[in-house]
Amino acid sequence: MQITIFDTTLRDGTQGESVSFSVDDKLTIARELDVLGIDYIEGGWPGSNPKDKDFFARAKSELVLRHSRLVAFGSTHFAKYEVGADPSIQELIRAETPTISIFGKTWDFHVTRVLGITLDHNLTIIANTVAFLKRHGREVVYDAEHFFDGYKSNPEYALKTLRAAKDAGADVLCLCDTNGGTIPESLTEIVRDVRSHFSGVIGIHSHNDSDLAVANALAAVEAGCTHVQGCINGYGERCGNANLISVIANLELKLGHVTIGEAGLKRLTTVAHFVADLANLPLRNDQAFVGKSAFAHKGGVHVSAVLKDPATYEHVSPERVGNRQRVLLSDMSGRGNVFYKLREQGLDLRLTDVQRLQLLEQIKQMEYEGYELEAAEGTFELLVREALQPGMEFFQLESFEVATKMKNGDERASTVATVSLRTGDGLHTETAVGNGPFNALDLALRQCLSGLYPEIARVKLTDYKVRVIDSKKGTDAKVRVLIEWRDRDQNWATVGVSDNVIEASWKALLDAIRLDLMRLGDHIAVGAAKT
């Protein structure tokens, strides 16, 4: 069955804490959702704020959608206005979108308590608003706010509100679990009752306050809904909306419905990360289908099975949603983990069984000491390459020294580092001034090596993280420093552990430089010092 997908990331999603998009962001996301194959994109509420008003103004000339229909959102008209005189309704018309989504009160408690009007007056407002928008040639999605709470309180009146919208011409009747407190069993019964009273398109808009938004969306479809609303990555007010990434994947891959199709499914991971980046929010590693850990395997027994057949511990193929399988290295690793990582890096045939076992034991010991190799695949690759060439050293550290000073009245501290290295052509000592200890050490190290190995200039830091391993020791605690790097061809991470944060950072820095030189070793080994 074809299920229509209605995305409200740009409207309901922005009501989530810490979620904010500029007008440019919203236009960019709308284009991406169009390419993904989303049917409806709710762009905002033009009558509520200048940003959304500007978005719709710019969308008229800047946004060309090939598949999606742009939607303006608003409410039924205020009781004090005639429908055509309501400024908010006028803004909806001026937005010039082909579709308008309006919400109206369904719960009798809200009608009398919040609006302060009679139940019959509310029905008139719903009908007048829908009919007015239809007379202006718009497709109308009617969002029945608090429908499930309203139905539980007064089912007869809740159904009357839907009838008022339907008889006035509403194209879609969308049932909203606005407070997110309905469980699937109850929701299913209510949707089936609605379906028994109404033909046409019935929709579902579920919130995640009970951690059931996706489950409720799926249950609603199985009960007769053919229109699903939600947000990319589950963004939204309080605990968020139904996560459309998971909804789409489950509808297509588990329930056999059609939403965005196979090609769209393969873009899910990309789109999830894309929207998260523009929201300036990290995508959860454990997010279903698209998270970094969604198809990651750590336990040795699991990895051994996955090597034989991925279906043993993967519910779908990661490639179908644009993700990839990962195997992590830790003290829980077995031989399968090591073999997988070796094969992934094209090194599986270069180590003997004995060397693999030694490498596994080394990994477990390092994890015991506080290293975290599952996130530092660069350090793992360095371990492998050192096992392959145990006598290869491009340089030896003689010493390093770093000093940070700040005098009374200075606006900022100054840092100086001196590094001494011994290479194949002798001793090199360089001093550098940097923005902090790590930057100064990095500059001094590169100055020592730049003559022999100019290629290391291409290695750039992209992220730096410090984690306290044993917080009970306070400032005396051991720390783990994870650094992410990039060159022209690839990204990798290295890790250092010490009770001195500068030393831990130095270890991770040395690993990054040594790995880069090992990768280039076949071409530049002439200058290497061997022991």
Tell me the CATH number at 90.
3.20.20.70
Query: Is residue 465, in this structure, part of any structural domain at all?
Result: yes
The answer to whether residue 257 scores a pLDDT higher than 90 is yes
Query: Is residue 348, in this structure, part of any structural domain at all?
Result: yes
- Quickly count: other Cβ atoms within 10 Å of residue 523's Cβ: 8
Based on the domain organization, do 347 and 397 belong to the same domain?
A: no
Query: 196 versus 424: which is more confidently predicted?
Result: 196
Read off the pLDDT band of 307 (50, 70, 90).
confident
User: In this structure, which amino acid lies at residue 347?
Assistant: L
Read off the pLDDT band of 524 (50, 70, 90).
very low
Query: Is residue 275, in this structure, part of any structural domain at all?
Result: no
Question: What is the average pLDDT across 169-191?
Answer: 98
Question: What is the average pLDDT across 442-448?
Answer: 94
Instruction: Give every CB contact of residue 140 below 8 A, 6+ residues apart in sequence.
Output: 99, 100, 101, 102, 130, 133, 134, 169, 170, 171, 172
For 441, half-sphere exposure in the C-beta direction (CA atoms, 13 angstrom radius) is 21
Read off the pLDDT band of 374 (50, 70, 90).
low
Based on the domain organization, do 216 and 83 belong to the same domain?
A: yes
Least confident of 199-208, 255-264, 476-485: 476-485
For the chain, the average pLDDT equals: 89
Instruction: Give every CB contact of residue 341 below 8 A, 6+ residues apart in sequence.
Output: 327, 329, 377, 380
Based on the domain organization, do 404 and 368 belong to the same domain?
A: no
Question: What is the average pLDDT across 146-159?
Answer: 97
Question: What is the average pLDDT across 11-40?
Answer: 95
Query: Is residue 29, in this structure, part of any structural domain at all?
Result: yes
Query: Is residue 161, in this structure, part of any structural domain at all?
Result: yes
Based on the domain organization, do 44 and 149 belong to the same domain?
A: yes
Radius of gyration of the chain (CA): 30
Based on the domain organization, do 251 and 220 belong to the same domain?
A: yes
What is the CA angle 291-294-297, rounded to 5?
A: 135
Read off the pLDDT band of 526 (50, 70, 90).
very low
Based on the domain organization, do 113 and 192 belong to the same domain?
A: yes
Question: Which pLDDT does position 273 carry in this prediction?
Answer: 86
- Tokens, residue 232: 């990319």
Q: In which domain, by residue range, is 337 found?
A: 296-374
User: In this structure, which amino acid lies at residue 215?
Assistant: A
The answer to whether residue 203 scores a pLDDT higher than 90 is yes
In angstroms, the first-to-last Cα distance of the chain is: 68
Query: Is residue 267, in this structure, part of any structural domain at all?
Result: no
- Tokens, residue 65: 């959608």
Based on the domain organization, do 413 and 362 belong to the same domain?
A: no
Name the residue among 243, 280, 288, 470 with its Cα closest to residue 369.
470
Torsion sign over Cα 47, 48, 54, 56 = negative
* pTM check: above 0.95: no
Looking at the 3D structure of the chain, how many domains does it have?
3
Query: Is residue 97, in this structure, part of any structural domain at all?
Result: yes
Residues 52-95: pLDDT tens digits? 999 999 999 999 999 999 999 999 999 899 999 999 999 999 99
Read off the pLDDT band of 529 (50, 70, 90).
very low
396-404 long-range contacts (CB < 8 A, ≥24 apart) are 396/421, 396/422, 396/423, 396/529, 396/531, 397/421, 397/510, 398/422, 398/427, 398/429, 400/441, 400/444, 400/445, 400/506, 402/437, 402/440, 402/441, 402/502, 404/436, 404/437
Query: 302 versus 442: which is more confidently predicted?
Result: 442
Sheet strands (E) in 222-313: 227-230, 296-297
Last residue of a domain, one of 314, 344, 374: 374
The answer to whether residue 206 scores a pLDDT higher than 90 is yes
Question: Which pLDDT does position 531 carry in this prediction?
Answer: 29
What is the CA angle 137-141-146, rounded to 5?
A: 150
For 263, half-sphere exposure in the C-beta direction (CA atoms, 13 angstrom radius) is 5
Question: What is the average pLDDT across 467-494?
Answer: 82
Read off the pLDDT band of 527 (50, 70, 90).
very low
Question: Which pLDDT does position 406 carry in this prediction?
Answer: 87
The answer to whether residue 143 scores a pLDDT higher than 80 is yes
Question: What is the average pLDDT across 520-525?
Answer: 52
Question: Which pLDDT does position 328 carry in this prediction?
Answer: 64
Based on the domain organization, do 168 and 243 belong to the same domain?
A: yes
Based on the domain organization, do 152 and 112 belong to the same domain?
A: yes
DSSP 386-422: HHHSTTEES-EEEEEEEEEE--TT-SS-EEEEEEEEE
